[in-house]
Amino acid sequence: MSDTIRRAFDALPTAGKVPAWLAPLRRAGMDRFAEVGFPGTRDEEWRFTPIAPITRTPFAPATPPARPVGRDDLAAFTFGHPEWPSLVFVNGRLAPELSTVPALPAGVLLTSLAEALATHPDLVEPHLARQADPEATPFTALNAAFIQDGAFLHVPKDADLKDPVVLVFVTTPDQGGRMSHPRNLVVVEPGARASLVEIYVGLDHGAAYLTNAVTEVVLRANAWLEHTRIQRESEAAWHMAFSHVHQDRDSHYRSFALAMGASISRHNLHTRLDAPNTEALLYGLSIAHRDQLVDNHTAIYHVQPDCRSWEMYKAILDDRARGVFNGKVLVTPEAQKTDAKQTNRTLLLSPEAKIDTKPQLEIFADDVKCTHGATVGYLDELPRFYFTSRGIPADRAEKLLTYAFAAEVLDEVRVDAVRAELDRVIRRRLGVVEG
């Protein structure tokens, strides 16, 4: 562990309106990180994801921006609906002047985690660090050590949030060599429904910084959540993230994760189907070029009977980009009548691009329907020939076929305005449209 990280931890404020139980939680996170340190390639969970550039950087805590961030800087992330409830965090801290919290259904609480710790600790304490264990990865331990701010969303029983809640985490160009540790907690009570859009973006493609985010989601009985996660960090930055979802009876979780930014990025998404008749749908798309490395680790824990999960992750890799996919579906002996399907598909646009894919099924029950599979390949020559034989240039044909590969999973985003904006972003990235 670097001296700069230790000094940053020792400098954390201890005064203020924070509950007494937070300090031991932070200390446990730091002790765990001091014990294990950054992971190396000898660690089985990290052997395809070398993070030497991160371990060599003496990170200092994020600071306020040198230049104020305006709403114009964020226009691309409002999906054409600036009236939607949103919290904007700049360099890891809430920016109230950029956030929008309109009138919400009775009992809904949308605020910063720092504010919730001060004013509603009774709502936070039963869940914070109870889902994403600090021992899960070294980075979750580091995040626990630096818990200060992030988003807190509490949706009471039977409430229905008609509009998506948008969380935007912005890093400004002056944050080179700095780190932030956003911590988000979402609790959806029985019978409630919500849609959440979580965005990470850098305002300068050349800034090298670390974002280390953790999001915990609790879905009570018959709760419903659509969770869209967008990672568009600076392509010189590093992005480490861990999301953990706890699902009670009859709950429904639908996730879509888009990864396009960062030099090295990794997202662990775990969901625990902890009661009968729960459902989890996980979709993901990664687009990488140059020397980017993008890693998706997912784990679906079927621990009760009569539950369903469906997973589809795709990657498009160009130039010397590298992808990693490790997807685990665990079915315990109690989880009879599990129905689970997992698929990973990767499109390589360059002979130098590569993917390490490892779909896994661990089944300890006998009355189940479980399948998994992975495919890796280049564009099919037959449809390319079909395009060119009708006068479409080969380069244009390749871009359209690549977009069609991405569109299949993008169509799973259910919020129309979000899907339309992501479609525009992906078309631009793939060169289907210019600008």
Q: What are the tens digits of pLDDT across the range 340-381? A: 999 999 999 999 999 999 999 999 999 999 999 999 999 988
- What is the pTM (predicted TM-score) of this model? 0.96
Cβ atoms of 328 and 358 within 8 Å: the answer is no
pLDDT of residue 381: 86
Q: In sequence order, what E strands does 114-263 have?
A: 151-155, 165-171, 178-180, 183-188, 193-202, 210-219, 224-232, 238-247, 252-259
Cβ atoms of 218 and 188 within 8 Å: the answer is yes
Q: What are the tens digits of pLDDT across the range 229-281? A: 999 999 999 999 999 999 999 999 999 999 999 999 999 999 999 999 999 99
Q: In this structure, how many other beta carbons lie within 10 angstroms of the beta carbon of residue 217?
A: 25
Q: In this structure, how many other beta carbons lie within 10 angstroms of the beta carbon of residue 120?
A: 14
Q: What is the CA radius of gyration of the chain?
A: 21
Q: What are the tens digits of pLDDT across the range 270-325? A: 999 999 999 999 999 999 999 999 999 999 999 999 999 999 999 999 999 999 99
Longest dimension (CA), the chain: 71
CA angle 101, 102, 105 (to 5 degrees): 110
d(CA 88, CA 124): 20
Residue found under tokens 């007494």: 20
Domain edges within the chain: 3-275, 380-435
d(CA 330, CA 371): 12
Q: What are the tens digits of pLDDT across the range 95-151? A: 999 999 999 999 999 999 999 999 999 999 999 999 998 999 999 999 999 999 999
Q: What are the tens digits of pLDDT across the range 139-167? A: 999 999 999 999 999 999 999 999 999 99
